[in-house]
Amino acid sequence: MKLEVIIEQDETGYYVAEVPIFPGCVSQGRTLAEAKANIKEAIAGWIAVMNDKVKHRRAQIVEVSV
């Protein structure tokens, strides 16, 4: 899966990474490489939490192409 991630350096020098299509999926790192690694972990966690939420509701998981 390929996702667009926005990474900006904040005023303290940290790199802050955000995934616009996943609300609240944010991470950071001291270096750009660390921020990239951390956001990958955050994405995996975000997806796991959302999948768990779906299992506890009367919902269906479907795939769509855009």
Lowest mean pLDDT among 43-47, 55-59, 60-64: 55-59
The verdict on residue 61 lying in a domain is no
As a whole number, mean pLDDT of residues 26-52 equals 96
As a whole number, mean pLDDT of residues 41-52 equals 94
5-22, pLDDT tens digit by residue? Answer: 999 999 999 999 999 999
**CA separation for the pair 59, 16 (Å, rounded):** 33
The verdict on residue 1 lying in a domain is no
The verdict on residue 62 lying in a domain is no
Q: How many helices (H) and strands (E) does the chain have?
A: 1, 3
Tokens 């997806």, residue?
47
User: What pLDDT is attached to residue 52?
Assistant: 86
The verdict on residue 25 lying in a domain is yes
The verdict on residue 65 lying in a domain is no
Domain count for the chain, please give it: 1
The verdict on residue 63 lying in a domain is no
The verdict on residue 21 lying in a domain is yes
Domain hosting 36: range is 6-55
Within 8 A by CB and 6+ apart from 58, the residues are none
User: What pLDDT is attached to residue 40?
Assistant: 98
The verdict on residue 32 lying in a domain is yes
| pLDDT exceeds cutoff 80 at 59 | no
